[in-house]
Amino acid sequence: MIKVEKYGIILTPSKKEFENNGVSNPGIYQEGNTIHILYRADQKGNYSTIGYAKSDGPNKVVGRNTEPLITPELAFEKKGIKDARIVKIDDIFYITYTAYDGVNSMGALATSKDLIHFKKQGTITPPINYGEYEKLIRKCGNKLNPKYHDNYMFFKELGLAEEQFRGISDKDIVFFPKKIRGKFVMLHSLWPGIQIVYFDHWKDLTKSFWKNYLGNLSEHIVLNPKGVFEVNYIGVGCPPIETKEGWLLIYYGVQETALGNLFHVKAALLQLDKPEIEIARLTYPLFSPTKKWEIEGEVDNVVFPTGHALFGNDLYIYYGAANKQIAVAKMDINELLMELKKEKVSDESKKNI
């Protein structure tokens, strides 16, 4: 088992109106000893923006904005924006986030050169309703985990699957921190798994692109739920970390229990030159809700990882605790990689579909 130290809460809600109901799920960018924190700020009434704080070292917050850093401005995000992830490629920051228009939760992209000024590039996930989605993924036949059809069946029973304005939910959008074979690479989370997309420019992610992609969805799955700790579904957590052993992916798994969903922080290793190939994954969680502030909050029993920082061999994972506060946990990255190497998947099971 990996030794994990929970350092506890580093950011809590304030009396400021924009974050008076909760702070969580921070995007993290490390610049030497400085940690930039772009966090989800929840206002009472179910409205969210992106706040900003700064840490000196892994967990000493030394600055915090009194106003939101990024606010909803466009129609597709009019009811809130949340759950930012950050990578920097060359001299540009890529901030992916979830945009909510009151009906749909979509992945969106903003770019920046200084983390002060942001240019919103729009949504980058499939503009397709559940009826269209079901028709497309049926082309994969029995190659897909049956749960890929669950959302369609749910909305069909409600008579909503064919509504043109109701798009499929696609959240947890994360870029790799470098181009691979000359292309941008993105992970995303269509229920119940994690998938990968290669593209030259986000403007190429058109409806036509996504239709072709979804018709071959089984070829783009990186991870599907596996084992009791992720039996319900899984989702992308932090941006992948490049190591000599492969891309280290910190993600979350959701377990169904008699008391509701229980979130766990999980780890997997992906091939460096072809990250769609799973090398290994831990069979057990790195950590789970055990502290009162992880068990009780706006959404109980949630640890939701969205960012990381490295200080020597110490890997710090930043996460939302019960959708109420922001916490950090530490582990030795070499110990984690050694443990993952013990869990290498066989060639036959690398495509867990």
Look over the chain and give the mean of its residue pLDDT values, rounded to a whole number.
Answer: 96
Quick one: pLDDT at residue 268?
98
pTM of the model: 0.96
Whether pLDDT at 64 is above 70: yes
Closest CA to 52 of 114, 108, 100, 104: 114
Using one digit for the tens of pLDDT, what is the confidence trace for 264-298? 999 999 999 999 999 999 999 999 999 999 999 99
Please, is 272 exposed, middle or buried when counting C-beta atoms within 10 Å of its C-beta (0-12, 13-18, 19+)?
A: middle
Whether pLDDT at 350 is above 60: no
Using one digit for the tens of pLDDT, what is the confidence trace for 291-318? 999 999 999 999 999 999 999 999 999 9
How many C-beta neighbours within 10 Å does residue 25 have?
30
Average pLDDT value for residue range 330-341: 97
Structure-token match 């055990």, residue found: 290
Average pLDDT value for residue range 166-191: 96
Alpha-carbon distance of 287 to 290, in angstroms, equals 8
Give the up-direction half-sphere exposure of residue 110: CA atoms within 13 A in the CB hemisphere: 29
DSSP for 139-198, written as a single string: GGGGGS-GGGGHHHHHHHHTT-TT-TT-BPP-EEEEE-SS-BTTBEEEEEE-TTSEEEEE
Handedness of CA 109, 112, 118, 121 (dihedral sign): negative
